[in-house]
Chains A and B, each alone.
Chain A
Amino acid sequence: MIPSYYEFINSVKILSGKNALENIPAELRGFEARKPILLTDKMLVKIGLAQQVADACGGSEIVIGAMYDDIPPDSSVEVVNDIVRVYRETGCDSVIAVGGGSVIDTAKGVCICLTEGTDDLLDHMGVDILKRRKTPFVVVPTTAGTGSEVTGVAVIANPAKNVKMEFVSANILPDVAVLDVRMTKSLPPRLTASTGMDALVHAIEAYTCLQRNPLSDAHAHAAINLIRKYLPRAVRDGKDEEARLAMANASLLAGVAFSNSMVGIVHAVGHACGGVLRAPHGDCMAILLPYGMEYNLSAVSERYAELLLPLAGPEVYARTSASQRAEKSIETVREMSAEYSRICGLPTKLREVGVKKEDFSAIARAAVNDGAMIVNPVEADEDDVLGILEKAY
């Protein structure tokens, strides 16, 4: 069914494949930028990925104005303000973010500050209120899961005021996303599985949330197809370049889908587990997905039935009767999680990632206040979330 009204945007230029990194200078030239600040984290500096991006700009007029690597796993407003200070001091004119979700969200925060001319992000949190970004912004993801390189969402903590600031706006979409297998080849199997399942959750929730539309559906469908075919290969053999590139594309496709359709209860509960206990996001997603799907089954069973085709492939889809396809999709997701648990130890229960029963009420309270709940197809209150947590424990 076509929505009576929808909006869709993906203005990000995508460079995908061999020597993609080496085209960053040409892209910056298009924006008349020649002195980017390179944002990354200490681990990526240590394993040489940040330097690899800097080196790829060699032989051009580009000068890396500063490499800022002091970005923690959770983006925070202090770090954003510090980067803005360095950016101004060093006379940079553009931003390159090399990293996972935290580095990319931090970079989005920096771009907001530079565009709005502020050092207080609190004044700019919200939905659809930001001005069009002025700073040229290139993103090089180093995991295949968050999809942040193509999403108009950033979450940045403000520990001093105890606020988790959410920014939702198409105006924070990067200009360029660079998918290069050199950036994800070193991801260990466990992290590959965890981030890949995160991308799968993005696609499944994007396909079933209230904001879904034909264009987000197409991206979600394509993402799930790629994940079915290539995630097992990427987990088993990290050096399989075709699988790595396919997974980077799957993550990006799922990112485009959920940036336009948003995510639902699985993310709301997963964000809450992460917020309350620092439980790893991808692991929580993999654990919670089947339980979230069961919760939503009554409202979106037709959508889940359609997803059996990309999730399980044409043979399974054809031999499953129409009335059983939705349940079969949930079963397929469970089998995928179990398979990655066997191959690389991906957790399948919340207790394995440090969630304790005494934290359930705090998690449930945080989950119902997560913005993802608005577009979930079924309404959920704290009792409903507690039910999901019990099952997933």
Chain B
Amino acid sequence: MASAYREIRPPAKRFERSCVSVLLWFVGRGFQAAAHVDKHVQDEVCGWKDGTIIAIGVAPCGPHMSVRKTGNRLRFLGNVKAPDADAVIEFKSLDAALLVLTGQIGIDRAYAEHRFSLKGDLFSIGMPLVRCLYIVESYLFPKSIAKKILKRWPKRSSSGFAVYFHTIFGV
């Protein structure tokens, strides 16, 4: 006899998934650009071993992006989750990722709210990465949004125009 119950498949959230994918591309390219033009991002990154890979995405198989450290620069590896990443930040849902990537909450608030997991060394990679994200957020978001989500305006050594230019056209 057929069961009176049927499976309910929650929506695939394709629109949110696409948005997160595009926003992660911007973050990855923004990271690469900021590390190219901003001394403070370079200072944070220089403590990482050459070849260090950082991946940011949505668990377990949502969109991701990865960057690799080369010299004191970062290279965007594309919208992929590098399998050999040294540190992986994974948002627990697409919605959590959207909260952060659209500037509704800052990275510190997201951490406080357990919106993401972090795999890797919190001391030598995680904290410098958080400070880099503060700087990247200050470049990529409009000032009114960035000021709302940052505890303090970070020290920067370049202009928003330069970071946007290199984000869109590459370094």
Contact = CB atoms under 8 A, between A and B. Distances in A.
A165 B150 CA distance: 27
B171 interface: no
A127 B118 contact: yes
A379 B155 CA distance: 12
Contacts of B151: 377-379
Contacts, number: 73
Interface in B27-79: none
A369 B152 contact: no
Contacts of A371: 122-123, 126-127
Given A369-B124, A379-B151, A379-B152, A262 B112 contact: yes
Contacts of A126: 117-120, 122, 126
B91 to A, nearest CB: 11
A126 B117 CA distance: 8
A373 interface: yes
Interface residues of B, number: 25
A374 B123 contact: no
A164 interface: yes
Contacts of A6: 113
B108 A127 contact: no
Interface in A347-388: 368-371, 373-375, 377-379, 381
Interface string A162-181: 01111010000000000000
Interface string B121-146: 11110111011000000000000000
B121 A375 contact: no
B64 to A, nearest CB: 15
Contact of A368 (B111, B117, B120, B127): B127
Contacts of B126: 126-127, 371
B109 interface: yes
Interface string A286-301: 0000000000000000
Contacts of B116: 127-128
Contact of A375 (B112, B117, B120, B131): B112
Contacts of B120: 125-126
A375 B127 contact: no
Given A370-B127, A374-B130, A378-B151, A129 B119 contact: yes
A370 B111 contact: no
Contact of A128 (B118, B130, B152): B118
B114 interface: yes
B125 to A, nearest CB: 9
A128 B88 CA distance: 12
Contacts of B109: 210
Contact of A166 (B108, B122, B155): B122
Question: Which 9 A-B pairs rank lowest in CB-CB distance, beginning with the nearest?
Answer: A379-B152, A211-B112, A128-B117, A379-B151, A126-B119, A127-B118, A369-B127, A210-B112, A166-B122
27 contacts: A3-B113, A7-B114, A125-B120, A125-B121, A125-B122, A126-B126, A127-B116, A127-B117, A127-B118, A127-B122, A128-B114, A129-B118, A129-B119, A163-B124, A210-B109, A368-B127, A369-B123, A369-B127, A369-B128, A370-B127, A371-B122, A373-B127, A374-B108, A375-B111, A375-B112, A379-B150, A379-B151
Interface of B: 107-109, 111-114, 116-124, 126-128, 130-131, 150-152, 155
Interface of A: 3, 5-7, 125-129, 163-166, 168, 209-211, 262, 368-371, 373-375, 377-379, 381
Given A126-B126, A129-B118, A369-B128, 20 more contacts: A7-B114, A125-B120, A125-B121, A126-B119, A127-B111, A128-B118, A129-B117, A164-B123, A165-B121, A209-B112, A262-B112, A368-B131, A371-B123, A371-B127, A373-B127, A374-B107, A374-B108, A374-B130, A378-B152, A379-B150
